[in-house]
């Protein structure tokens, strides 16, 4: 079998565990394929996609800050990417065209379901921090996959009223956008919290300031919290959630699930999820 080359693109990228995870998957499947990390700015992204288009790369994962940028640079949007308004996987079709998919949303929905121990209660509310590609995937996971109808999204950019309104109009599901400050009334109703910014990520910032954007004392003790950051695994935000007594998870399990879904899109075969998850520990 001819080895095929796959990659993840982002900036920063040194923190990424995707190469470790996908290499483990290829070993488990007995395949000779390779997987690498590519650091690229927004201006470099088109050239990286060109490598996929010409077949030098057989498939691509996309991470921060390019999950929204990539939508305008491919030929087709799968409904998953169109609905989320962001993509994390690019597939080269047989005709050489590039199709963007979003496997983050179904992966996060599965993790929320698992952490909750089953379906969310009727009338569940959610709080999402952030307004980038990961936040849009979280909104899609909550609203489209899990049926949550009351979603509050809190972001720094929403201090600008015009940007707040624009986000509400374009969000994957109905949301209420809030300025970057805690809200006891919103927190009191929240069943699910999703931290979907890069705060706390190794190589980005320490994440200490983020803990002050949630009124932890107002949260129900039954709420669950997921931080999409996985490097490091124990962020200040997760520490604050645990101190409140919430059931918590980092982004590692979500990473494995979205990676498995991406691999299945590329190869058309069942992904070895257990091997991929084990490689991340």
Q: How far apart are CA 273 and CA 269, in angstroms?
A: 12
Going from N- to C-terminal start, the domains of the chain cover 5-102+255-279, 105-250
pLDDT in tens, 5-42: 999 999 999 989 999 999 999 999 999 999 999 999 99
Residue 188 near residue 211, CB atoms below 8 Å: no
Backbone angles phi, psi at 246, to 5 degrees: -80, 150
What pLDDT score does 190 carry? 98
The CATH number given to 5-102+255-279 is 3.40.50.10860
Q: Is 189 a catalytic residue?
A: no
Structure tokens at 36: 């690498």
What pLDDT score does 206 carry? 80
H or E stretch at 249: strand 247-249
Kindly tell me if the per-residue pLDDT of 184 is higher than 90: yes
Catalytic residue among 17, 67, 189, 270: 67
Q: Per DSSP, what are the bridge partners of residue 224? A: 192, 247
pLDDT in tens, 108-122: 999 999 999 999 999
Residues 190-219, mean pLDDT to the nearest whole number: 92
pLDDT in tens, 137-171: 999 999 999 999 999 999 999 999 999 999 999 99
Residue 171 near residue 136, CB atoms below 8 Å: yes
Instruction: Please tell me the class of the 105-250 domain.
Output: alpha beta
Kindly tell me if the per-residue pLDDT of 205 is higher than 90: no
Kindly tell me if the per-residue pLDDT of 281 is higher than 90: no
pTM: 0.92
What pLDDT score does 1 carry? 84
For residue 270, the tally of other CB atoms under 10 A from its CB is 10
Structure tokens at 129: 């921090």
Q: Starting at the edge strand that comes first in sequence, how are the strands of the sheet with 34-39 ordered?
A: 34-39, 5-10, 59-62, 89-92, 98-101, 76-77
pLDDT bucket at 70, cuts 50 / 70 / 90: very high
What pLDDT score does 37 carry? 98
Tell me the three state secondary structure of residue 175. Answer: coil
């Amino acid at each position: 079998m001819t080895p095929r080359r796959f990659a993840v693109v982002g900036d920063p990228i040194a923190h990424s565990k995707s190469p470790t995870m996908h290499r483990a998957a290829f070993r488990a499947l007995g395949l000779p394929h390779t997987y690498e990390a590519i650091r690229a700015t927004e201006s470099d992204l088109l050239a990286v996609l060109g490598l996929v288009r010409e077949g030098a790369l057989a498939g691509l994962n996309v991470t921060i800050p390019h999950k929204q940028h990539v939508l305008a640079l491919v030929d087709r949007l799968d409904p998953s990417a169109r609905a989320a308004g962001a993509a994390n996987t690019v597939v080269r079709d047989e005709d050489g065209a590039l199709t963007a998919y979003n496997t983050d949303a179904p992966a996060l929905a599965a993790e929320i379901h698992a952490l909750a121990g089953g379906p969310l209660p009727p009338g569940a509310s959610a709080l999402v921090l952030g307004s980038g590609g990961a936040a849009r995937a979280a909104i899609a996971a909550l609203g489209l996959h899990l049926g949550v109808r009351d979603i509050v999204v809190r972001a720094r950019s929403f201090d600008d009223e015009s940007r707040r309104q624009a986000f509400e109009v374009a969000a994957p599901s109905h949301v209420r956008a809030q300025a970057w400050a805690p809200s006891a009334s919103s927190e009191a109703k929240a069943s699910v919290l999703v931290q979907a910014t890069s705060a706390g990520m190794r190589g980005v910032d320490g994440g200490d300031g983020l803990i002050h954007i949630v009124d932890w004392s107002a949260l129900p003790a039954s709420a669950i919290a997921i931080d999409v950051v996985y490097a490091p695994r124990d962020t200040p935000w997760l520490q604050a959630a645990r101190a409140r007594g919430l059931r918590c998870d980092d982004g590692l399990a979500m990473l494995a699930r979205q990676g498995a879904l991406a691999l299945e899109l590329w190869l058309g075969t069942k992904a070895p999820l257990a091997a991929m998850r084990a490689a991340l520990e």
